[in-house]
Structure 1
Amino acid sequence: MCLAVAGELIEISEHSDPLWRMGEVSFGGVLRQVSLACVPEARVGDQLLVHVGVALTVLEPER
């Protein structure tokens, strides 16, 4: 069974190669470095779905 967790993108570390783009993500106050290679559209403040250190998708805000 796999588990993906939602977290808020706090900071982005840009890189000349988009595959090495990283972000600092807050999971309820716990900060982790996450790869943003799969979500080039991610911006600071977005909620991301993260699995094993890789952001898989940007979550849509609830209405």
Structure 2
Amino acid sequence: MCLGIPGELVELADDDTDLATVSVAGVRRKVNVGLLIEDEELAVGDWILIHVGFALAKIDEAEAAAALDMLHSMGPAYDQELEEFVASSTGREGL
């Protein structure tokens, strides 16, 4: 099952990469926001929908909270998606 997980932007890169740091369930890591930056203005504190290391959509805080509540109610499916989020790589981490 493939799910998108809401994450809060906590840092935008100062360089020309499409990477930003997000927080998901207390886990911070870099995700690629390249699919959004042409269409959306992103800022620290924004919420985005993430799947395997890529931001798919900008969402508001209420939508993020509702999605997180629904995901928590899914139990093992949410746990698996969170594990995949932690394990996924954008291929540019550590640069």
Compute the TM-score of the two structures, normalised by the length of structure 2.
0.56
- 2:35 match: 38
- 2:60 match: 60
Any unmatched runs of 5+ in structure 2? 63-95
Identity %: 39
Report the Cα distance in structure 2 between the residues aligned to 1:14 and 1:56, rounded to whole angstroms. 21
Greater helix share, structure number: 2
Amino acid in the other structure paired with 2:34: A
Alpha carbons 1:14, 1:21 under 8 Å: kept: no
Note the C-alpha offset of 1:49.
0.2
Note the C-alpha offset of 1:61.
3.4
Greater strand share, structure number: 1
Compute the TM-score of the two structures, normalised by the length of structure 1.
0.81
More RCO (CA 8 Å, sep 6+): 1
The count of aligned residue pairs is: 59
Report the Cα distance in structure 2 between the residues aligned to 1:14 and 1:38, rounded to whole angstroms. 17
Any unmatched runs of 5+ in structure 1? none
For the pair shown, which has the larger CA radius of gyration, 1 or 2?
2
